[in-house]
A and B are shown apart, each in its own frame.
Chain A
Amino acid sequence: MKFLGKNTIKLDKELNELDKFVLDFIKILKKHTDYVIISGYVSLLFGRARGTEDIDVFIEEATKESFIKLYQEIEEKYWCLNSDEVNEIYSYLKDGLPIRVAIKDQAIPNFEIKFAKTLLAKEAFKDSVIVKTTLGELKISSLERQIAFKKYYLKSDKDLEDAKHIEKLFKENINYNKVKEYRITIENAKTKNR
Protein backbone atom coordinates (compact mmCIF):
# COMPACT_ATOMS: atom_id res chain seq x y z
CA MET A 1 0.00 0.00 0.00
CA LYS A 2 1.18 3.51 -0.65
CA PHE A 3 -0.01 7.08 -0.35
CA LEU A 4 -0.79 8.76 -3.68
CA GLY A 5 -1.02 12.19 -2.08
CA LYS A 6 -2.25 13.29 1.31
CA ASN A 7 -5.72 11.74 1.20
CA THR A 8 -5.45 8.81 -1.19
CA ILE A 9 -4.04 5.36 -0.52
CA LYS A 10 -3.45 2.70 -3.17
CA LEU A 11 -3.99 -0.81 -1.91
CA ASP A 12 -2.98 -3.81 -4.01
CA LYS A 13 -4.32 -6.47 -1.67
CA GLU A 14 -5.96 -9.66 -2.87
CA LEU A 15 -9.53 -8.78 -1.96
CA ASN A 16 -11.36 -11.12 0.40
CA GLU A 17 -15.11 -11.85 0.47
CA LEU A 18 -15.71 -9.12 3.04
CA ASP A 19 -13.93 -6.51 0.91
CA LYS A 20 -16.02 -7.57 -2.10
CA PHE A 21 -19.21 -7.37 -0.03
CA VAL A 22 -18.27 -3.82 1.01
CA LEU A 23 -17.30 -2.68 -2.50
CA ASP A 24 -20.55 -4.07 -3.99
CA PHE A 25 -22.76 -2.31 -1.49
CA ILE A 26 -20.85 0.96 -1.63
CA LYS A 27 -21.38 1.09 -5.42
CA ILE A 28 -25.11 1.46 -4.74
CA LEU A 29 -24.72 3.80 -1.78
CA LYS A 30 -22.50 6.30 -3.57
CA LYS A 31 -24.93 6.69 -6.47
CA HIS A 32 -27.41 8.21 -4.05
CA THR A 33 -25.53 9.78 -1.15
CA ASP A 34 -22.18 10.66 0.38
CA TYR A 35 -20.81 8.11 2.83
CA VAL A 36 -17.81 7.42 5.02
CA ILE A 37 -16.74 4.07 6.45
CA ILE A 38 -15.59 4.19 10.04
CA SER A 39 -14.30 1.96 12.81
CA GLY A 40 -13.32 -1.76 12.65
CA TYR A 41 -13.53 -2.43 8.92
CA VAL A 42 -10.94 0.28 8.27
CA SER A 43 -8.36 -1.72 10.24
CA LEU A 44 -9.40 -4.89 8.41
CA LEU A 45 -9.07 -3.19 5.03
CA PHE A 46 -5.45 -2.48 5.94
CA GLY A 47 -4.71 -6.04 6.95
CA ARG A 48 -5.72 -6.51 10.58
CA ALA A 49 -5.88 -10.26 11.30
CA ARG A 50 -9.45 -10.58 12.53
CA GLY A 51 -12.96 -10.90 11.18
CA THR A 52 -16.03 -8.79 11.79
CA GLU A 53 -19.75 -9.18 11.39
CA ASP A 54 -20.53 -5.56 10.62
CA ILE A 55 -19.23 -2.56 8.74
CA ASP A 56 -20.03 0.85 10.20
CA VAL A 57 -21.01 3.58 7.77
CA PHE A 58 -22.22 7.13 8.13
CA ILE A 59 -24.35 8.50 5.32
CA GLU A 60 -25.46 12.07 4.80
CA GLU A 61 -28.88 12.83 6.16
CA ALA A 62 -31.35 12.50 3.28
CA THR A 63 -34.91 13.55 2.54
CA LYS A 64 -37.46 10.77 2.65
CA GLU A 65 -37.86 10.91 -1.14
CA SER A 66 -34.16 10.46 -1.85
CA PHE A 67 -33.85 7.77 0.83
CA ILE A 68 -36.71 5.83 -0.76
CA LYS A 69 -34.87 5.90 -4.11
CA LEU A 70 -31.72 4.60 -2.42
CA TYR A 71 -33.62 1.92 -0.57
CA GLN A 72 -35.42 0.74 -3.71
CA GLU A 73 -32.05 -0.05 -5.24
CA ILE A 74 -30.72 -1.60 -2.02
CA GLU A 75 -33.64 -4.00 -1.72
CA GLU A 76 -33.00 -5.57 -5.11
CA LYS A 77 -30.22 -7.60 -3.48
CA TYR A 78 -30.22 -6.77 0.24
CA TRP A 79 -32.70 -6.55 3.10
CA CYS A 80 -32.89 -4.48 6.24
CA LEU A 81 -32.71 -6.56 9.41
CA ASN A 82 -34.79 -4.03 11.33
CA SER A 83 -37.85 -3.72 9.10
CA ASP A 84 -39.27 -4.28 5.60
CA GLU A 85 -41.14 -1.01 5.68
CA VAL A 86 -39.17 1.85 4.14
CA ASN A 87 -41.01 4.54 6.11
CA GLU A 88 -40.15 2.79 9.36
CA ILE A 89 -36.51 2.35 8.29
CA TYR A 90 -36.30 6.04 7.44
CA SER A 91 -37.82 7.04 10.77
CA TYR A 92 -35.16 5.01 12.63
CA LEU A 93 -32.43 6.86 10.77
CA LYS A 94 -34.10 10.22 11.35
CA ASP A 95 -34.24 9.42 15.07
CA GLY A 96 -30.48 8.84 15.07
CA LEU A 97 -30.81 5.06 15.28
CA PRO A 98 -28.68 2.69 13.21
CA ILE A 99 -30.14 0.22 10.71
CA ARG A 100 -28.50 -3.02 9.59
CA VAL A 101 -28.48 -4.18 5.99
CA ALA A 102 -27.35 -7.63 4.80
CA ILE A 103 -27.67 -9.77 1.67
CA LYS A 104 -31.23 -11.13 1.49
CA ASP A 105 -31.85 -14.12 3.79
CA GLN A 106 -28.56 -13.55 5.59
CA ALA A 107 -27.71 -11.59 8.73
CA ILE A 108 -23.91 -11.67 8.67
CA PRO A 109 -22.00 -9.74 7.46
CA ASN A 110 -24.05 -6.57 7.55
CA PHE A 111 -23.73 -2.82 7.24
CA GLU A 112 -24.58 -0.75 10.28
CA ILE A 113 -25.75 2.51 8.75
CA LYS A 114 -26.44 5.79 10.50
CA PHE A 115 -27.32 9.27 9.35
CA ALA A 116 -24.45 11.61 10.21
CA LYS A 117 -26.31 13.79 12.67
CA THR A 118 -23.77 14.65 15.36
CA LEU A 119 -20.87 17.07 14.93
CA LEU A 120 -18.38 14.20 15.28
CA ALA A 121 -20.13 12.21 12.56
CA LYS A 122 -20.39 15.17 10.20
CA GLU A 123 -16.72 15.98 10.64
CA ALA A 124 -15.73 12.46 9.56
CA PHE A 125 -16.63 13.45 5.98
CA LYS A 126 -14.34 16.49 5.96
CA ASP A 127 -10.96 14.82 6.01
CA SER A 128 -11.91 11.42 4.64
CA VAL A 129 -9.41 9.27 2.79
CA ILE A 130 -9.94 7.50 -0.53
CA VAL A 131 -8.63 3.94 -0.72
CA LYS A 132 -8.12 2.68 -4.26
CA THR A 133 -8.46 -1.08 -4.56
CA THR A 134 -8.34 -3.29 -7.65
CA LEU A 135 -12.17 -3.39 -7.73
CA GLY A 136 -13.00 0.21 -6.91
CA GLU A 137 -12.67 2.97 -4.36
CA LEU A 138 -13.78 3.24 -0.75
CA LYS A 139 -14.06 6.35 1.38
CA ILE A 140 -12.88 5.95 4.96
CA SER A 141 -12.54 8.41 7.81
CA SER A 142 -9.03 9.74 8.42
CA LEU A 143 -6.44 7.55 10.12
CA GLU A 144 -6.11 10.12 12.90
CA ARG A 145 -9.85 9.99 13.59
CA GLN A 146 -9.75 6.20 13.60
CA ILE A 147 -7.02 6.18 16.20
CA ALA A 148 -8.60 8.82 18.42
CA PHE A 149 -12.07 7.25 18.23
CA LYS A 150 -10.80 3.76 19.05
CA LYS A 151 -8.35 4.82 21.78
CA TYR A 152 -10.34 7.50 23.54
CA TYR A 153 -13.99 6.71 22.83
CA LEU A 154 -14.57 2.98 22.28
CA LYS A 155 -11.57 1.71 24.30
CA SER A 156 -12.36 -2.05 24.30
CA ASP A 157 -9.42 -4.46 23.91
CA LYS A 158 -10.43 -5.03 20.29
CA ASP A 159 -10.57 -1.29 19.61
CA LEU A 160 -7.20 -0.64 21.23
CA GLU A 161 -5.72 -3.42 19.08
CA ASP A 162 -7.29 -1.93 15.95
CA ALA A 163 -5.78 1.46 16.83
CA LYS A 164 -2.37 -0.13 17.44
CA HIS A 165 -2.48 -1.83 14.02
CA ILE A 166 -3.16 1.48 12.25
CA GLU A 167 -0.55 3.33 14.33
CA LYS A 168 2.16 0.79 13.69
CA LEU A 169 1.36 0.50 9.98
CA PHE A 170 1.16 4.22 9.23
CA LYS A 171 3.63 5.49 11.83
CA GLU A 172 5.33 7.87 9.38
CA ASN A 173 2.06 9.26 7.99
CA ILE A 174 0.09 9.95 11.16
CA ASN A 175 -0.25 13.52 12.37
CA TYR A 176 -0.28 13.15 16.15
CA ASN A 177 -1.30 16.77 16.67
CA LYS A 178 -4.52 15.92 14.83
CA VAL A 179 -5.02 12.82 17.01
CA LYS A 180 -4.68 15.08 20.07
CA GLU A 181 -7.15 17.56 18.59
CA TYR A 182 -9.71 14.80 17.91
CA ARG A 183 -9.17 13.38 21.39
CA ILE A 184 -10.21 16.73 22.87
CA THR A 185 -13.27 16.94 20.58
CA ILE A 186 -14.28 13.38 21.50
CA GLU A 187 -13.84 13.97 25.23
CA ASN A 188 -15.81 17.22 25.04
CA ALA A 189 -18.62 15.45 23.17
CA LYS A 190 -18.67 12.71 25.79
CA THR A 191 -18.87 15.24 28.63
CA LYS A 192 -21.80 16.99 26.90
CA ASN A 193 -23.64 13.69 26.51
CA ARG A 194 -23.36 12.83 30.21
Chain B
Amino acid sequence: MQKLKTDKDNKQERMNFVEYWADFVKNNPDEVWSRQQKLLIDSQIKNAKSFKISRKDYLEIKKK
Protein backbone atom coordinates (compact mmCIF):
# COMPACT_ATOMS: atom_id res chain seq x y z
CA MET B 1 0.00 0.00 0.00
CA GLN B 2 1.46 3.34 -1.01
CA LYS B 3 1.76 6.10 1.62
CA LEU B 4 -0.44 9.17 1.29
CA LYS B 5 1.55 12.09 -0.11
CA THR B 6 0.94 15.38 1.66
CA ASP B 7 1.05 18.80 -0.02
CA LYS B 8 0.73 22.48 0.95
CA ASP B 9 -1.69 23.02 -1.90
CA ASN B 10 -5.15 21.91 -0.79
CA LYS B 11 -6.28 20.96 -4.29
CA GLN B 12 -3.21 18.79 -4.82
CA GLU B 13 -3.53 17.27 -1.35
CA ARG B 14 -7.14 16.30 -2.13
CA MET B 15 -6.04 14.76 -5.41
CA ASN B 16 -3.34 12.82 -3.58
CA PHE B 17 -6.02 11.36 -1.34
CA VAL B 18 -8.18 10.43 -4.35
CA GLU B 19 -5.21 8.48 -5.75
CA TYR B 20 -4.49 6.92 -2.37
CA TRP B 21 -8.08 5.77 -1.94
CA ALA B 22 -8.34 4.48 -5.52
CA ASP B 23 -5.22 2.44 -4.83
CA PHE B 24 -6.89 1.04 -1.69
CA VAL B 25 -10.04 0.14 -3.67
CA LYS B 26 -7.96 -1.50 -6.38
CA ASN B 27 -5.91 -3.60 -4.00
CA ASN B 28 -8.58 -4.76 -1.59
CA PRO B 29 -11.62 -7.01 -2.05
CA ASP B 30 -14.88 -5.18 -2.86
CA GLU B 31 -16.34 -6.21 0.51
CA VAL B 32 -13.52 -4.39 2.35
CA TRP B 33 -13.53 -0.94 0.71
CA SER B 34 -17.31 -0.92 0.25
CA ARG B 35 -17.88 -1.31 3.98
CA GLN B 36 -16.02 1.98 4.53
CA GLN B 37 -17.84 3.69 1.67
CA LYS B 38 -21.18 2.43 3.03
CA LEU B 39 -20.55 4.14 6.38
CA LEU B 40 -19.98 7.46 4.63
CA ILE B 41 -22.84 7.26 2.14
CA ASP B 42 -25.45 5.73 4.46
CA SER B 43 -24.87 8.47 7.03
CA GLN B 44 -25.36 11.12 4.33
CA ILE B 45 -28.57 9.50 3.14
CA LYS B 46 -29.81 9.29 6.73
CA ASN B 47 -29.12 13.01 7.21
CA ALA B 48 -30.79 13.89 3.92
CA LYS B 49 -33.93 11.98 4.91
CA SER B 50 -34.21 13.83 8.21
CA PHE B 51 -33.62 17.18 6.51
CA LYS B 52 -37.06 18.28 5.35
CA ILE B 53 -36.99 20.55 2.34
CA SER B 54 -39.83 21.34 -0.01
CA ARG B 55 -39.59 20.58 -3.73
CA LYS B 56 -39.80 24.30 -4.46
CA ASP B 57 -36.99 25.25 -2.07
CA TYR B 58 -34.77 22.43 -3.33
CA LEU B 59 -35.19 23.48 -6.96
CA GLU B 60 -34.50 27.12 -5.98
CA ILE B 61 -31.22 26.05 -4.36
CA LYS B 62 -30.26 24.07 -7.48
CA LYS B 63 -30.81 27.13 -9.68
CA LYS B 64 -28.26 29.17 -7.70
Contacts and interface: CB of A to CB of B under 8 A. Distances in A.
Given A49-B21, A82-B59, A169-B22, A18 B30 contact: no
A81 B48 contact: no
Interface residues of B, number: 34
Given A161-B14, A161-B18, A168-B23, A47 B37 contact: yes
Contacts, number: 95
A161 B15 contact: yes
9 contacts: A12-B29, A17-B41, A47-B33, A49-B40, A108-B53, A164-B19, A168-B23, A168-B26, A169-B22
A107 B51 CA distance: 9
B22 A168 contact: yes
Interface of B: 11, 14-15, 18-19, 21-23, 25-26, 29-31, 33-38, 40-42, 44-46, 48-49, 51, 53-55, 58-59, 62
A16 B34 contact: yes
B35 A14 contact: yes
Contacts of B37: 13, 16, 44, 47-49
B interface, over-half SS:
helix
B30 A107 contact: no
Nearest to B43: A51
Nearest to B33: A47
Contact of A47 (B11, B34, B46): B34
